[in-house]
Amino acid sequence: MAKTSIFAALPLTNFKTPSQFRVKNSSIISFTETHFFRQSISTGIVRSSTPRGIGSVSCSSVTDEASSEELQVRTLTWKWKGYSIRYQCAGTRGPALVLVHGFGANSDHWRKNTPILGKTHRVYSIDLIGYGYSDKPNPREFGGEPFYTFETWGEQLNDFCLDVVKDEAFFICNSIGGLVGLQAAVSKPEICRGLMLINISLRMLHIKKQPLIGRPFIKSFQNLLRNTPVGKLFFKSIAKPETVKSILCQCYHDSSQVTDELVEAILRPGLEPGAVDVFLEFICYSGGPLPEDLLPLVKCPVLIAWGEKDPWEPIELGRAYSNFDAVEDFIVLPDAGHCPQDEKPEMVNPLIESFVARH
């Protein structure tokens, strides 16, 4: 029986590429065929409306020295509503891609995708507010109104496209990031050219998916975590290298890909001031939209890809999303876990390229 975890979005890697993908309508797309789609990518760009003056961009550092096959990835800072937002980017031509991480992760989770895709695309990977090295405002500062919600992150994503990308973009999203991409695409459909959802979170802890008899107990437990020292003790118990590694080994099919580098990339920003409050706020966020609420409202093409060995988001349940009109294909990624973009980049990168090339 598949496990459900509050950590539905963390990172990893594996480079053995299968020869075929299984697709929504039982057709087969070979790995070689998907790679060749990239040759038809259009270089024509249609600009979106003039961006609002909502932020400013500054360069904070340059990282990831380029190899002979990879572009240099720049690390930059964008000011959004007074908050500092980190993002990384690569590439100067082709369609714009915005890569959106999941819960507990950050833009480093796309480190095996950004420099590769940047050879033929303008690629941006962003730290959602509250995560990574973006600012982490205390959720209690907002007068009791929830701040860390998909509406907030969806607005951040759309504003990022208007203010930084200055163009329409494809949203490439993993896990909880898939809800962010969906919310953004529904809120401002003129910005999103297409959505690729990689192991989107099913939100199995959502209040609607809990039995009626258990809902009062869930609410009480959430209050315990958020409003007593229990929550911070719980966070302290898991914010350790050995615990993070154990969690990652659950969600990666190939546990050998859970390296010290990966553990540090996930853990280090999670130890910054304010991270514990964001963590507790989100695991107590059992409302908001479900994928099945947003998919019927999406106007752009959607591709769903799913690591078949995901222990947290069962592929049997994920297949139901292929029935929505906007979903073009449901592609099974063999021998991949919850984060295929990091575990199987040689499989996922050409799949992204082929999806973008078709639109």
pTM, rounded to two decimals: 0.81
Specify the pLDDT at position 220.
82
Burial bucket for residue 80 (CB in 10 Å: 0-12, 13-18, 19+): buried
Question: How many other C-beta atoms can be found within 10 angstroms of the C-beta atom of residue 274?
Answer: 13
Specify the pLDDT at position 5.
41
CA distance 70 to 40: 21
Secondary structure (DSSP) of 330-350: EEEETT--S-HHHHSHHHHHH
Specify the pLDDT at position 130.
97
Residues (pLDDT < 50) of the chain are 1-68
Asked if 78 contacts 55 with a C-beta cutoff of 8 angstroms, the reply is: yes
Specify the pLDDT at position 70.
59
Question: What SS3 class is residue 195?
Answer: strand
Question: What SS3 class is residue 179?
Answer: helix
User: 227-243: string of b/e by CB count within 10 Å (b at 16+)?
Assistant: eeeebeebbeebbeeee
Specify the pLDDT at position 144.
78
Specify the pLDDT at position 329.
96
How is residue 320 written in tokens? 């139901």
**What are 214-217's contacts with CB under 8 Å, separation 24+?**
none
